[in-house]
Structure 1
Amino acid sequence: MHFLIDNCYSFEGYHLVETLLEEGHEVSGIHSSVLSNKEVHLSMYLGRHALFSEGIQEKDYAAYVTFFGEGAKQVDVQRRVNLHYGTSEDTDADVQILLPICYGKWMPRDTDALQWEGQNIPFDDAFFRAHALPIQPVMQTVSKLLAGDTSSKNYRFYAKDVCPEQEDRTVIAFTRNLKDDLTALHQHYAKYSQFYK
């Protein structure tokens, strides 16, 4: 399948594109004209892959994925999918996926905190420890939803130990090993901190 991904070099977009490519899908990526140093670095990782191309192609896309309600409204596709953290203004989306607070390699961060939704959230913060999920399995699940027949129109991710019942969304719950995950991510940050800026 071929997917069009907007904001393809953002933290979230990069991990989704990487997952789709690993699963053998073709991906066209759209990005802003001005890239941060980190986005330039991530573009070099993705740009080497034979199944990745930049820009909108003359293809029959299975889905156009936008993040946070931002994207080109005029793209003609079978499905529009919007991933967001809270309320989204993308009323044209066929599928809405509500993301949790995510952590992973290349996340917006400094030594002690994650930058999320305009806030600094320390890694030892109670909200982070209760709700944060690793981005890789989240995007692996999103990839499966994109490639499958999405019968639901709304999805939401939770950590298994805090997952409530919801009638208006399909709930996807994950277990995690936050301590080991953060140890590995702090080591990655120490090694590549110059690319995080």
Structure 2
Amino acid sequence: MIVINNCFHWIGYHLLQKFLEGGYEVMGCDPITSEKREHLSMFVGRNSHFEWMETLPDARKKESDIIYIDVQPHVLFIQLEDNQTHTISTPMLFGEFMDREDDGFEYKDTFISFESKKFNEEAVWIEDFVDILFSLFKENQLNKDWKVKSLSKSMREEEDGDEVIYVRQTDTVSNRLQLIDEHYQQYTNLY
């Protein structure tokens, strides 16, 4: 079983969807404090592999088949079956359901324009990131800390060790931005 804390945060929602699509039992924890989170809960509420709780249980079960993922804005905390916790530092992510303005979004307390060099070099599409995380999970590679970065040349650094995973974009940033614009037009009432 996978337990995802903050499962209706926009990143948590994409993780939740990926694990459900992979056939896993998922328990989602989220107090649903906004209308957007409430709508996201409706997208999965009737899935028989999904169970929702408002908060994480105080005493986590000591069963060997439960993995906890705590979703925070720039890092994921993964607690494995052996109770060891590891982190996955996320890159600048963008995708459906993220909080944004027409021309950009807030990232680490700084407004990032969709037209900026920083965005075009560092941003990673949420689904590409989730696919990487799911691959690490399937290959039992979550037993150490990871840092995920865009594959762009400017993001590669000499001191990057084997704990860095570079994500190759599966489509152009402009095509992804068009998908986000279409999504936001369809779900305007959520924002």
- Into which bin does the TM-score normalised by the smaller protein fall? 0.7 to 0.9
Choose from 166, 181, 188 the match for 2:183. 188
Q: Give the conservation status (yes or no) of the 8 Å contact 2:95–2:126.
A: yes
2:72 equivalent to 1:78: no
Shift, 1:47, TM fit: 1.1
Taking structure 1 as reference, are residues 79 and 141 closer, same or farther at Cα in structure 2, changes over 3 Å only?
farther
CA shift at 1:114, angstroms? 1.7
- 1:62/1:79 contact within 8 Å kept: no
The TM-score with structure 1 as length reference comes to: 0.79
Residue from 91, 101, 105 that aligns with 2:92: 101
Aligned residue type for 1:172: Y
Instruction: Give the structure 2 partner of residue 17 of structure 1.
Output: 16
Find out whether 1:143 has 2:134 as its counterpart.
Answer: yes
Corresponding residue to 1:156 among 147, 165, 177: 147
Matches within 5 A, 1:46-65: 46-55=44-53, 60-65=64-69
Q: Name the SS for the 2:106 alignment partner.
A: strand
**Aligned equivalents of 2:80, 2:91: Cα separation in 1:** 26
Q: CA deviation at 1:156?
A: 2.0
- Secondary structure (helix, strand or coil) at the match of 2:8 reads coil
Instruction: Name the CA distance, whole Å, in 1 between partners of 2:129 and 2:173.
Output: 14
User: Shift of residue 54 of structure 1?
Assistant: 1.1
Q: CA deviation at 1:195?
A: 0.6
SS in 1 for 2:68: strand
> Could you say what secondary structure the match of 2:100 adopts?
coil
- The alpha-carbon deviation at position 60 of structure 1 amounts to 4.8
Structure 2 residue matching 1:97: 3-state secondary structure: strand
Comparing 5-14 and 43-52, the one that deviates more: 43-52
Shift of 1:152: 5.4
For 1:6, the aligned partner's letter is N
Q: What CA deviation, in whole Å up to 9, does each residue of 1:138-174 have, x standing for no partner?
A: 1122122223311651222222223415116232321
Match of 1:174 among 168, 176, 189: 168
Q: Let me know the Cα RMSD of the aligned residues.
A: 2.5
Note if contact 1:104-1:134 (Cα within 8 Å) is conserved in structure 2. yes
SS at match of 2:33: coil
Amino acid at match of 2:163: R
Q: 1:191 to 1:151 in 2, by over 3 A?
A: closer
Matched AA of 2:172 = N
Distance verdict in 2 for CA 1:137–1:124, change over 3 Å: same
- Between stretches 101-110 and 47-56, larger displacement belongs to 47-56
The answer as to whether partners of 1:7 and 1:30 remain within 8 angstroms in 2 is yes
Residue pairs, 1:26-41, within 5 angstroms: 26-31=25-30, 33-41=31-39
